[in-house]
Amino acid sequence: MINSNREIFIFFLKLSNQLPSYYFYMSEQFKAFGISLVPVTLSQLKEIRHNNREYIISLTSDFTKYRNHLQARKNYLDYMVLSRKFCLFDISSFEIPDMASKGFRSKSYHFFQLPVNLEETVKNIAIAIYEDRRTKLTWPGGVRSKLPSDVGSSS
């Protein structure tokens, strides 16, 4: 879709000690789109130096993961999403958060209600990422004008 030398990464937020079985399935699905799925904990996510907008997937399917997800949102994720440093893809069987409307407007927050078809969800996430990257590459302001070097000099 987009010719770019940089590889695309999506961080998969680990909300428990073990990776869920669907992580490996999603990873294979994302590889078909040229995207790597990288598991990280919240503390590892905080340590990563964020030069560009990062893409995060959080999948909460039980109460333990939901509690950990709420704690991560409260401490870090909401701020990063609302400041447009993160684009969060929240796949959850729980309610949509209050901050979602602000995130939807800035295209920094995407919500998928469980149960979902993982193949279709992966495709929708990949499309959203490629569209986001394309809009960042084509800035609507055009080319900055340049003034001649002799402007203002008297001849």
**Domain-by-domain residue ranges, the chain?**
8-135
Task: List beta partners, residue 12.
Answer: 39, 57
Is the domain spanning 8-135 CATH 3.40.50.2300? The answer is yes
Instruction: Round to whole Å and give the CA distance between 40 and 48.
Output: 10
- Structure token digits, residue 57: 């997937």
pLDDT tens digits in sequence order for the chain, 155 residues long: 444 456 888 999 999 888 988 899 999 999 999 999 999 998 998 888 777 788 999 999 889 998 988 888 888 888 888 888 889 999 998 887 776 666 666 678 888 988 889 999 999 999 999 988 887 654 555 556 666 665 555 55
Give the DSSP letter of residue 36.
Answer: E
Angle between helices 118-137 and 21-31 (to 10 degrees): 50
36 neighbors 10 (Cβ within 8 angstroms): yes
Strands (E), the chain: 8-13, 35-40, 54-60, 86-92, 109-113
- Neighbour count for residue 127 (Cβ, 10 Å): 12
Instruction: Round to whole Å and give the CA distance between 45 and 23.
Output: 17
The residue to which tokens 């995130």 are assigned: 103
